[in-house]
Amino acid sequence: MNLGEKMTLNTNLKNIFLVVFTTLILSACSTAKKSGEIEGDVYTGKETVEFLAAGVPDRVFFATNKSSLTTASRATLRKQATFLRKNKNLNVVIEGHADERGTREYNLALGERRANAARDYLMTYGISGKRISVISYGKEKPVNPKSSPVAWSQNRRSVTVKVN
Protein backbone atom coordinates (compact mmCIF):
# COMPACT_ATOMS: atom_id res chain seq x y z
CA MET A 1 0.00 0.00 0.00
CA ASN A 2 1.42 3.41 -0.94
CA LEU A 3 0.93 6.68 0.86
CA GLY A 4 -1.66 8.03 -1.58
CA GLU A 5 -4.03 5.11 -1.04
CA LYS A 6 -3.78 5.44 2.73
CA MET A 7 -4.75 9.11 2.59
CA THR A 8 -7.88 8.34 0.56
CA LEU A 9 -8.90 5.67 3.04
CA ASN A 10 -8.56 8.09 5.94
CA THR A 11 -10.66 10.71 4.20
CA ASN A 12 -13.36 8.13 3.56
CA LEU A 13 -13.35 7.06 7.19
CA LYS A 14 -13.62 10.68 8.28
CA ASN A 15 -16.66 11.19 6.08
CA ILE A 16 -18.33 8.12 7.52
CA PHE A 17 -17.65 9.32 11.06
CA LEU A 18 -19.09 12.72 10.23
CA VAL A 19 -22.31 11.17 8.96
CA VAL A 20 -22.66 8.87 11.98
CA PHE A 21 -21.89 11.72 14.36
CA THR A 22 -24.48 14.04 12.81
CA THR A 23 -27.13 11.32 12.98
CA LEU A 24 -26.38 10.82 16.67
CA ILE A 25 -26.73 14.52 17.42
CA LEU A 26 -30.00 14.73 15.53
CA SER A 27 -31.50 11.71 17.30
CA ALA A 28 -30.34 13.05 20.68
CA CYS A 29 -32.12 16.33 19.95
CA SER A 30 -35.34 14.60 19.02
CA THR A 31 -35.39 12.48 22.22
CA ALA A 32 -34.76 15.57 24.36
CA LYS A 33 -37.73 17.23 22.70
CA LYS A 34 -39.94 14.19 23.16
CA SER A 35 -39.26 13.82 26.88
CA GLY A 36 -40.12 17.44 27.60
CA GLU A 37 -37.96 20.20 28.90
CA ILE A 38 -35.31 18.71 31.14
CA GLU A 39 -31.71 19.85 31.35
CA GLY A 40 -29.26 17.72 33.25
CA ASP A 41 -32.15 16.00 35.08
CA VAL A 42 -33.72 19.33 36.14
CA TYR A 43 -37.10 20.45 34.82
CA THR A 44 -36.89 23.71 32.89
CA GLY A 45 -40.38 23.88 31.41
CA LYS A 46 -43.34 26.06 32.30
CA GLU A 47 -45.98 23.41 32.96
CA THR A 48 -47.19 23.19 36.60
CA VAL A 49 -45.51 26.52 37.45
CA GLU A 50 -47.69 29.10 39.19
CA PHE A 51 -46.88 32.70 40.03
CA LEU A 52 -46.64 34.68 43.26
CA ALA A 53 -47.07 37.84 41.18
CA ALA A 54 -46.67 38.69 37.52
CA GLY A 55 -43.26 37.41 36.44
CA VAL A 56 -42.50 35.77 39.80
CA PRO A 57 -42.61 31.96 39.48
CA ASP A 58 -43.51 30.14 42.71
CA ARG A 59 -41.25 27.12 42.33
CA VAL A 60 -37.80 25.83 41.48
CA PHE A 61 -36.76 22.35 40.38
CA PHE A 62 -34.02 19.97 41.41
CA ALA A 63 -31.99 17.10 40.02
CA THR A 64 -32.52 13.55 41.33
CA ASN A 65 -31.29 13.19 44.93
CA LYS A 66 -29.92 16.75 44.81
CA SER A 67 -30.79 19.94 46.62
CA SER A 68 -28.39 22.29 44.85
CA LEU A 69 -29.87 25.30 43.04
CA THR A 70 -29.35 25.69 39.30
CA THR A 71 -28.66 29.02 37.62
CA ALA A 72 -32.29 29.18 36.55
CA SER A 73 -33.47 28.36 40.09
CA ARG A 74 -31.33 31.13 41.53
CA ALA A 75 -32.77 33.61 39.03
CA THR A 76 -36.31 32.57 40.06
CA LEU A 77 -35.48 32.90 43.74
CA ARG A 78 -33.97 36.36 43.20
CA LYS A 79 -37.30 37.39 41.66
CA GLN A 80 -39.05 35.99 44.72
CA ALA A 81 -36.68 37.93 46.99
CA THR A 82 -37.40 41.18 45.13
CA PHE A 83 -41.12 40.46 45.41
CA LEU A 84 -40.83 39.76 49.14
CA ARG A 85 -38.79 42.92 49.72
CA LYS A 86 -41.58 44.93 48.11
CA ASN A 87 -44.25 43.17 50.18
CA LYS A 88 -42.81 43.50 53.65
CA ASN A 89 -45.86 42.17 55.50
CA LEU A 90 -46.01 38.98 53.50
CA ASN A 91 -44.79 35.69 55.01
CA VAL A 92 -44.24 32.52 53.06
CA VAL A 93 -43.88 28.81 53.61
CA ILE A 94 -41.58 26.89 51.34
CA GLU A 95 -42.76 23.36 50.61
CA GLY A 96 -40.06 20.84 49.75
CA HIS A 97 -40.94 17.87 47.58
CA ALA A 98 -39.32 14.76 46.14
CA ASP A 99 -40.19 12.39 43.32
CA GLU A 100 -41.61 8.90 43.89
CA ARG A 101 -38.36 7.09 43.13
CA GLY A 102 -36.96 7.13 46.64
CA THR A 103 -37.76 5.63 50.01
CA ARG A 104 -40.39 7.56 51.93
CA GLU A 105 -38.33 8.58 54.94
CA TYR A 106 -35.28 9.66 52.99
CA ASN A 107 -37.55 11.71 50.73
CA LEU A 108 -39.00 13.54 53.73
CA ALA A 109 -35.47 14.58 54.68
CA LEU A 110 -34.64 15.44 51.07
CA GLY A 111 -37.73 17.65 50.75
CA GLU A 112 -36.71 19.47 53.91
CA ARG A 113 -33.22 19.99 52.54
CA ARG A 114 -34.59 21.36 49.24
CA ALA A 115 -36.97 23.77 50.98
CA ASN A 116 -34.08 25.00 53.11
CA ALA A 117 -31.84 25.47 50.09
CA ALA A 118 -34.46 27.85 48.69
CA ARG A 119 -34.94 29.53 52.07
CA ASP A 120 -31.19 30.05 52.55
CA TYR A 121 -30.94 31.67 49.13
CA LEU A 122 -33.82 34.05 49.85
CA MET A 123 -32.11 34.96 53.12
CA THR A 124 -28.84 35.81 51.38
CA TYR A 125 -30.93 38.29 49.37
CA GLY A 126 -32.04 40.04 52.49
CA ILE A 127 -35.28 38.27 53.40
CA SER A 128 -35.55 37.62 57.12
CA GLY A 129 -35.63 33.94 58.08
CA LYS A 130 -38.55 34.76 60.37
CA ARG A 131 -40.72 35.39 57.35
CA ILE A 132 -39.96 32.02 55.75
CA SER A 133 -41.02 28.72 57.28
CA VAL A 134 -40.44 25.38 55.61
CA ILE A 135 -42.36 22.13 55.42
CA SER A 136 -41.37 18.93 53.70
CA TYR A 137 -43.93 16.67 52.08
CA GLY A 138 -41.39 14.21 50.76
CA LYS A 139 -43.05 12.32 47.91
CA GLU A 140 -46.54 12.64 49.40
CA LYS A 141 -47.84 15.45 47.21
CA PRO A 142 -46.80 14.97 43.60
CA VAL A 143 -47.96 17.74 41.26
CA ASN A 144 -47.85 15.31 38.35
CA PRO A 145 -49.03 11.80 39.30
CA LYS A 146 -47.60 10.11 36.20
CA SER A 147 -44.65 7.72 36.49
CA SER A 148 -42.36 9.27 33.89
CA PRO A 149 -39.05 11.16 33.92
CA VAL A 150 -40.87 14.43 33.12
CA ALA A 151 -43.39 13.95 35.92
CA TRP A 152 -40.60 13.09 38.36
CA SER A 153 -38.65 16.20 37.34
CA GLN A 154 -41.76 18.35 37.89
CA ASN A 155 -42.25 16.79 41.32
CA ARG A 156 -38.66 17.43 42.49
CA ARG A 157 -39.41 20.96 43.56
CA SER A 158 -39.67 23.57 46.22
CA VAL A 159 -42.74 25.78 46.13
CA THR A 160 -43.00 29.16 47.81
CA VAL A 161 -46.53 29.69 49.12
CA LYS A 162 -47.97 32.90 50.60
CA VAL A 163 -49.35 32.39 54.09
CA ASN A 164 -51.00 35.79 54.71
Partner 1 sequence: MKKIFLLHLLFFFSFSKLYALIEVDITRGNLDPLPIAVSPLHVDVKSEKSQDLKIKDLGDNISEIIERNFRSTGLFNPLKKEAFVQKPDIAHLKPRFEDWRLIKAQALVTGKLLILNGKLKVEFRLWDLAAAQEMTALAFTTSPSNWRRVAHIISDKIYERLTGEEGYFDTRIIYVAESGPKNQRVKKLAIMDQDGFNTKYLTLGNELVLTPRFNPTSQMVTYMSYFRNMPRVYLLDIETGTQEIVGNFPGMTFAPRFSPDGKKIIMSFAKDGNSDIYTMDLDSRLVERITDHSSIDTSPSFSPDGKFIAFNSDRSGLQQIYVMRSDGSNVKRITFGKGIYGTPVWSPRGDLIAFTKMHKGKFYIGVMRIDGTGERLLTENYYQEAPSWSPNGRVLVFYRETKAGDKGAGFSAKLWSIDITGYNERRLSTKTDASDPSWSSLLSK
Residues that bind partner 1 (CB under 8 A): 65, 67, 100-106, 108-110, 112-113, 115-117, 120, 135-137, 140-147
Residue number, 42 or 110, with CB nearest to partner 1? 110
The smaller minimum CB distance to partner 1, of residues 44 and 144, is found at 144
Nearer to partner 1, 82 or 144 (CB): 144
Report in angstroms how near the CB of residue 1 gets to partner 1 at its nearest: 46
DSSP assignment string, 40-97: TTEE-S-TT--EEETTEESEEE--TT--PPPHHHHHHHHHHHHHHHH-TT--EEEEEE
Measure the CA–CA gap between 146 and 152, rounded to whole angstroms: 8
In angstroms, what is the minimal distance from the CB of 48 to partner 1? 11
The nearest distance, CB 57 to partner 1, in angstroms, is 20
Is residue 61 within 8 Å of 156, Cβ to Cβ? yes
